[in-house]
């Protein structure tokens, strides 16, 4: 083989397409960043502007022309605001047959009756409009795809046009998700306006429960002492109260991760069929269980940190010293209480085991970890170990309560201690789960389907 011909021969046909010309309308931040990435990937870039002489600095190697620049490219990226689209209407004849990529976004949801991309398609019916790249920021474009910013969504009515855009996005290093026809454009345009949508409900719930238990315990532990015993124990707000509120809310939220699963299982048993959809509220609840669990884990971690400082707290050291001194004065020694030793050691250890499993659940719910687990491994951890975690944490709290349930002094102003309230939902979930394990309920066909429907929402 002639060595010259080998070295000169292109390895594939991509070399030819690398020189493809792409046109960008708009010389703002996004247009410039997009152009820069196109150039780095090996495309030729031409900018179209209404005022080609007065636009700012553009990436070196690009040209800027009047809007007629579109003629030299098949793909035209529209990086201008929707308010300026009407001028594009005047270019309809030049844009006929072109693929117009609408990368625009709006400042608010529902600002216009139709999506920007649909509006563009209506203005220029002869072109093929594809919505895409709008979920990327100029920053992400300049720095290239990173793990968190690898996805590009596209939608459009022409398969061929979408394919051309997908090819460009793939060459730029992005992973493309086809969302279907142009009717999905509104949904795509809403994406960048959403702020952690799946975290909203868990965070609202955590805030609501925290506020409720804070005021409940403030009345029970602080105001009660002040009114009935004339004692100011307001300093308890900082550590004691917080170390009650956080674990209580954490335990309730952990149980709320498993409640929808058992509700779904009973619903299927009651209906006797798997072929009916779950109600929307149950679907939505299931979809935010990961976030519920992670917020709960954060609160449990706070409880563990607060517990670490108990021995060094001034109040605790003072009480201990005062107790010892009074015993010396009275020449008394309290006998060693083996039951108390068993009780305290047990609830600490069960708490530690519960927290260890809690951490395992949290770590395996992170995408980088869950992606390398098989479905069976993932479901084993999240379901079986999940219930075990709930069991340990609930048992920890029961052991902590011990016989206080029976002492009338625990019910101040007829208010139950906070931890008793926190035990209601977890206990119900565990009892329901036990019922589901009974042979009459544990029909493999149904339970398998329940776990499948749950798996879709994890």
* Residue 25 vs 355, nearer CB to ligand HEM: 355
Question: Which one, 196 or 414, has the nearer CB to ligand HEM?
Answer: 414
Phi-psi region of 6 (alpha: psi -120 to 50; beta: other; left: phi over 0): alpha
DSSP string, 364-422: HTSHHHHTTS-HHHHHIIIIIIHHHHHHHHHHHHHHHHTTGGG-GGG-BTTBPPHHHHH
Q: Which stretch binds ligand HEM (CB under 6 A): 113-121, 148-156, 247-255, 314-322?
A: 247-255
Which string of DSSP letters, residue by residue, matches 289-325? HHHHHHHHHHHHHHHHHHHHTGGG-HHHHHHHHHHHH
Q: Which stretch binds ligand HEM (CB under 6 A): 101-109, 348-356, 367-375, 448-456?
A: 348-356
Q: Is there binding between residue 251 and ligand HEM (CB under 6 A)?
A: yes
Min dist CB 360 to ligand HEM, Å, is: 12
> Whose CB is nearest to ligand HEM?
351
Element (H, E) at 337: none
Residue 212 in the binding site for ligand HEM (CB under 6 A): no
Beta carbons of 30 and 53 less than 8 angstroms apart: no
Is residue 121 involved in binding ligand HEM (CB under 6 A)? Answer: no
Q: Dihedral of CA 357/360/366/370: which sign?
A: negative
User: Considering beta carbons, is residue 75 or 296 the nearer one to ligand HEM?
Assistant: 296
Among 80, 140, 168, 300, binds ligand HEM (CB under 6 A): 300
Question: Which letter, b or e, does each residue of 237-249 get, where b requires 16 or more Cβ atoms within 10 Å of its Cβ?
Answer: eebbbbbbbbbbb
Q: Whose structure tokens read 């902590």?
A: 400
CA pseudo-torsion sign 408, 414, 417, 420: positive
Query: With binding defined as CB under 6 A, does residue 419 bind ligand HEM?
Result: yes
Assigned token pair, 414: 């007829």
Helix (H, G, I), strand (E, B) or coil at 178: strand
Please, what is the minimum distance in Å from the beta carbon of residue 198 to ligand HEM?
22
Element (H, E) at 259: helix 242-271
Stretches 67-75, 102-110, 163-171, 349-357: which one binds ligand HEM (CB under 6 A)? 349-357
* 386 near ligand HEM (CB under 6 A): no
Do residues 27 and 58 touch, judged by C-beta distance below 8 A? yes
Instruction: Out of 121, 128, 422, 453, point to the residue binding ligand HEM (CB under 6 A).
Output: 422
Counting contacts by CB under 6 A, is residue 352 touching ligand HEM? yes
Residue 265 tokens, joined: 């299982």
Q: Which of 25, 174, 358, 387 binds ligand HEM (CB under 6 A)?
A: 358
For residue 310 the two structure tokens come to 């108990």
Give me the residues paired with residue 223 across strands: none
Contact set for ligand HEM, span 227-246 (CB under 6 A): 240, 243-244
> Which span (54-62, 144-152, 350-358, 362-370) binds ligand HEM, by CB under 6 A?
350-358
* Helix, strand, coil fractions of the chain, as percent rounded to 5: 65, 10, 25
Q: Report whether 261 contacts 454 (CB < 8 A).
A: yes
**Region from 83-91, 190-198, 278-286, 389-397 binding ligand HEM, contact rule CB under 6 A:** 389-397
With tokens 């990436």, the residue in question is: 59
- 402 touches ligand HEM by CB under 6 A: no
Choose which of 32, 131, 220, 396 interacts with ligand HEM (CB under 6 A).
396
CB of 429 to ligand HEM, least distance (A): 13
CB of 188 to ligand HEM, least distance (A): 39
Q: In angstroms, give the least distance from the CB of 351 to ligand HEM.
A: 3
To ligand HEM, the closest distance from the beta carbon of 391 in angstroms equals 11
Binding site for ligand HEM (CB under 6 A): 240, 243-244, 247-248, 250-251, 254, 300, 303-304, 307, 348, 351-352, 354-355, 358, 393, 396-397, 400, 418-419, 422
């Amino acid at each position: 083989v002639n060595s010259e011909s080998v070295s000169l021969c292109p390895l594939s046909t991509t070399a030819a397409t690398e020189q493809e010309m792409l046109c960008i309308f708009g010389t703002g931040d996004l247009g410039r960043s997009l152009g820069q990435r196109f150039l780095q990937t090996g495309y030729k870039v031409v900018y179209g502007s209404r005022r080609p002489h007065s636009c700012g600095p553009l990436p070196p190697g690009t040209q800027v022309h009047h809007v007629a620049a579109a003629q030299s490219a098949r793909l035209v990226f529209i990086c201008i605001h929707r308010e300026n689209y009407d001028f594009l209407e005047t270019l309809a004849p030049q844009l006929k047959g072109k693929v117009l990529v609408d990368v625009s976004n709006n400042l608010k949801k529902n600002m216009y009756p139709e999506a920007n991309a649909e509006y563009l398609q209506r203005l220029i019916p002869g072109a093929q409009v594809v919505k895409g790249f709008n979920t990327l920021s100029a920053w992400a474009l300049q720095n290239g795809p990173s793990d968190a910013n690898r996805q590009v969504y596209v939608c459009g009515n022409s398969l061929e046009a979408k394919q051309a855009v997908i090819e460009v996005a793939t060459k730029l290093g992005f992973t493309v998700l086809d969302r279907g026809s142009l009717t999905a454009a509104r949904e795509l345009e809403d994406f960048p306006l959403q702020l952690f949508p799946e975290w909203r409900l868990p965070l609202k719930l955590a805030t609501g429960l925290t506020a409720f238990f804070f005021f409940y315990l403030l009345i029970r532990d602080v105001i009660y002492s002040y009114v009935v015993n004339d004692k100011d124990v307001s300093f308890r707000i900082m550590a004691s109260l917080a170390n009650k509120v956080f674990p209580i809310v954490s335990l309730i939220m952990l149980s709320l991760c498993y409640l929808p699963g058992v509700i779904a299982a009973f619903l299927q048993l009651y209906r006797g069929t798997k072929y009916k959809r779950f109600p929307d509220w149950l679907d939505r609840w299931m979809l935010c269980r990961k976030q519920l669990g992670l917020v709960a884990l954060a609160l449990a971690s706070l409880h563990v940190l607060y517990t670490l400082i108990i021995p060094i707290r001034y109040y605790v050291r003072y009480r201990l010293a005062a107790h010892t001194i009074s015993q010396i004065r009275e020449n008394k020694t309290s006998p060693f209480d083996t039951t108390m030793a068993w009780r305290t050691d047990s609830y600490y250890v069960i708490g530690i085991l519960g927290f260890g499993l809690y951490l395992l659940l949290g770590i395996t719910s992170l995408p980088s970890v869950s992606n390398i687990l098989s479905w069976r491994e993932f479901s084993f951890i999240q379901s079986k170990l999940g219930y075990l975690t709930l069991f340990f944490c609930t048992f920890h709290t029961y052991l902590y309560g011990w016989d206080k349930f029976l002492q009338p002094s625990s019910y101040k102003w007829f208010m139950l201690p906070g931890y008793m309230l926190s035990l209601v939902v977890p206990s119900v979930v565990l009892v329901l789960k036990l019922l589901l394990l009974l042979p009459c309920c544990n029909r493999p066909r149904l339970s398998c389907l329940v776990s499948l429907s749950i798996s879709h929402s994890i």
